[in-house]
Chains A and B, each alone.
Chain A
Amino acid sequence: MPKINFNADFIIGVGALVLGCLILFVWIPLDVETGLVEKVRSRIVIGDSLAPSLAASVLILGGVLLMFKSYRTSGRAELSWSSLKFIALILAAVGLSLAVMRWTGPISAHLLNADYRSLRDTVPWKYAGYFWGGLVMVFGLISIMEHRLRWRILFISILAVLILMLVYDLPFKNLLLPPNGDI
């Protein structure tokens, strides 16, 4: 009898099976108000649970199928520690840049005892968050890929962010750069 091969596909299959079961038996019953079918004014109609339940069932089916397929084959898909380290680094850089984008303007305004909402459509305030957040994103990510910091890359990053600002802001007066639309 062949031995079960605990390869990446098997783990994905188990993950899909567990996730599907959780969605089907926990999430949907707790978080959807109507059942599979409902009676509305003496008519039977499809309820809001049916479609997600079917989707969860397909997820379970896919998981089981993948587990069985991985039983005799060795999956080539893999998520190495190096990949996890990289994606954590990237998400941290993107998260930091979005935080800078969101808070640079409001915090600067607060330090100057001003209200950012009233300033957000004026220069330089309307560009502050986008410029610094964008700069952190572009410069940070390029530096991560190059494994070093370079003045030349800083200059290119500033140029790139300025060009994007001009592309979106100058011709279109109705467009709002982040984060000015929802502060």
Chain B
Amino acid sequence: MSVLDYVWLGVGAVFQGPALFDLFGIAVSVTLVMVFCGLLTGIVVGATPGLAGPMAMAVSLPILISVFGYHQSALLPVMGFLIGVMKGATVGGAVPAILFNTPGTPDAYMTTLDGYPMTRKGLSGKALRVAYFSSVSGDTFSDLVLFTCAPFLAILVEAYLDFPEKTALIILSLSFIAAVVGKSVAKGLIGMALGMLAAYIGSGEDFYPRLTWGLESLAEGFSMSSVILGVLIIGEVFKSMEDLWLTRGSRKAVTIKPRDDNRLHWADVRMLLPYIRNSALIGTLIGALPGIGSTLAATLGYATGKKMHERRKSDDEPAFGEGAPQGIAATEAANSAVSGSNLIPVLSLGIPGNAAAVFLILAADSIGGFNPGPSVFKFTTASVNPELVIAFGLFTMMMFANILNWTIGGVFMRSMGVMARVPKHILMPIVLLLTLTAIYVEETKMAALLFTVGFGLLGYLFRRLEISPLPFVIAFILAGKLEETARQAFASTGGNIWFLFSSVTSTVFLLLSVLVVAAFTRSKKK
């Protein structure tokens, strides 16, 4: 099996998988249909203020698993849908930001700064086209970086890192996420520690399930779905509901008649390209680091674009913040470029970097047969490595989603303005019931709903106390792997209690963990 053979197997798994129907005599695989449906769902969700890609991923996952079952053949259709949602939501988030000054997703906030002024000038169509073109360009660029970097990084990790180094690498990743996410390193550490503790309840190697007080309902620990959906989705729903409770009313959208020429001309594209290029690079670099979200990428992309615009702009052109299309391009290219490269740490190291990646890991964990991490990229020659085929299948689906985005995404996106009129206070309780139902159909235990609401309360408190929920969730996912790798490292070094310092690499990783916490503690002064 050569590398090319694996690539073809991955492409074949997507295009020649089980067919759903025939189109002009050509069998259309169910995976392609799922990517298509996911993309449209993602655009709708992204265009609806209050909803976000992870929410749609959360509630659709149990339904998808029910449809496709717990078998390796379910991986590509299920993950295809989730990837479609991830990409669609990135594009859709700009719609309400531009039309109604309401960001559909948090990272689209910067888009409002120039998008809404353009709408007020009657240039909403042009603003949407700029956002779409920049978003899809940034996303495609980021995917290409992912395809080339993830396998190499994984091969390097697998070739040079043994158990002690892998343990130290997980510690470094957790420290990095705790340090960089949110406004306070200390709060990041608290969130991370709580996530680890939640993961250790009911687990362990002893016959007695630890930290359960003998309670049978805790003996199997907390399910990943309850914890992740509780903290990420229900917590956000509770917080949004409180905001709506305080404001009572909903904002009335103002409709402004668009001007005649709202098209994106070749001259516009040429003008935007330098901004898109810079922001795509910024977004891709930031996305490759676990835990740093697309909001920071959008902010940095916007700031960089603003500097460039100040140097280049003529007197009659609007400045950033006054309806400059370059501002939309700089923001959208940056926040969309995060989505592809965010999967680099997931696929190469098994470390999720954002909420969307968390749901891809949750899907892989629920279905089985695919464990994101360095072992995925083992190019075995004697026999086929099925995980590697899945990985190339994922890359193929991402490219297919990009093609769909380039061809039909723009038209669909521009028709989604109506979604911003859906009242958020009606939507939120429905999302809550939908999420709880999704948990129940997977777990079939009322106790799971109580746990989910409990973790939702924790997620709400995190948000109110300015503790980012991401270190908690990522630590919950990685805690088991950290303990398992540490046990293996301890055993492989013959019970050496200093096993983490047994090599230069692991020692450097540990030193970096301390340094990153110390450095960010100093730099994040209020």
Contact = CB atoms under 8 A, between A and B. Distances in A.
Interface string A101-113: 1100000000000
A182 B479 contact: no
13 contacts: A16-B193, A33-B206, A34-B205, A46-B490, A51-B479, A55-B200, A55-B479, A69-B184, A83-B242, A87-B460, A168-B441, A171-B67, A182-B445
Contact of B241 (A12, A90, A101, A157): A90
Contacts of B213: 31
B426 interface: yes
A170 B238 CA distance: 29
Interface SS of A by simple majority? helix
Interface string B173-216: 00000000000111111101110110010001111101111000
Contacts of A13: 186
Interface in B297-334: none
A87 B479 contact: no
Contacts of B434: 164
Interface in A58-95: 58-59, 61-63, 65-66, 69, 73-79, 82-83, 86-87, 90-91, 94-95
Contact of A73 (B440, B521, B525): B525
Interface SS of B by simple majority? helix
Nearest to A59: B193
Contact of B238 (A45, A61, A90): A90
B466 interface: yes
Nearest to A67: B186
A128 interface: no
Contact of B211 (A12, A31, A75, A76): A31
Nearest to A163: B430
Nearest to A13: B186
Interface in A114-171: 130, 134, 137-138, 140-142, 144-147, 153, 156-157, 160-161, 164, 167-168, 171
Chain A interface size, under 10 / 10 to 19 / 20 to 34 / 35 or more: 35 or more
Contacts of A86: 241-242, 245
A37 B497 contact: yes
Interface in A18-67: 20, 23, 27-28, 31-34, 37, 43-52, 54-56, 58-59, 61-63, 65-66
B345 to A, nearest CB: 21
A82 B208 CA distance: 42
Contacts of B252: none
Contacts of A32: 204, 206, 208, 210-211
B190 A55 contact: no
Interface in B45-96: 63, 66-67
A138 B207 CA distance: 43
A91 B446 contact: no
Given A138-B430, A156-B426, A9 B211 contact: no
A145 B444 contact: no
Given A44-B495, A79-B464, A164-B433, A63 B190 contact: yes
A20 B186 contact: no
B486 interface: yes
Given A48-B205, A73-B525, A161 B190 contact: no
A48 B464 contact: no
A52 B475 CA distance: 12
Given A51-B486, A141-B428, A182-B446, 11 more contacts: A12-B190, A45-B487, A50-B486, A56-B193, A73-B526, A76-B526, A78-B464, A87-B242, A141-B241, A141-B429, A182-B444
